[in-house]
Amino acid sequence: MSSTTVSTVSTSTSLRRRVLGVLAAVAASVAIWLVTALGGVDYAVTSPGQPEVVVNLVPVVVVSLGAALIGWAALALLERFAGHRATTIWFTLVLAATLLSFVPLVQVEATAGAKLALGAMHLAVPVALIPLLPKRDH
């Protein structure tokens, strides 16, 4: 009976920590956007061959939430199928995805402030997820 209780507590704590990680990732991106937007950053972005788009708060929330949830799902799948290597594989995937997320920033036309702020948001999500999503095996 005590092993069931320990497992339930561990699962509950893990779930709570992971939800906190997702919320922290979104909150960090939102905070960066709010501070920089209030500071006067112009979020007008033009991709090659596309009309100008203004990055407002809605896509910031949607993209950061989506990325965080995909990260969580990937980790959960790896924990199920990759065993003790799951966290290492997941961390490698997070680094690769983070680096790849910067490719569009190099290709778009935007102010330096917008590119810096968007880059900071691209870093904020993994920085919030890396310490909170993986299991804590003590």
Confirm whether 138 is domain-assigned: no
In a domain, 77, yes or no: yes
Burial of residue 136 (number of CB atoms within 10 Å: 0-12, 13-18, 19+): exposed
Q: Please state the domain count of the chain.
A: 1
Q: Residue 66 is part of which domain span?
A: 2-132
- Spatial separation of the C-alpha atoms in residues 114 and 135, rounded to whole Å: 35
User: For 86-99, how does the pLDDT look when each residue is reduced to its tens digit (9 = 90+)?
Assistant: 999 999 999 999 99
The model's pTM: 0.87
Query: For residue 99, is it within any domain?
Result: yes
Contact 129, 75 (CB under 8 A): no
- For residue 17, is it within any domain? yes
Smallest CA-to-CA distance from 125 within 113, 133, 114 is with 133
- Evaluate whether residue 137 is within a structural domain: no
Q: Is 23 a member of any domain?
A: yes
- Chain segment 80-128, per-residue pLDDT in tens: 999 999 999 999 999 999 999 999 999 999 999 999 999 999 999 999 9
| 8 A C-beta contact, residue 121 and residue 60 | yes
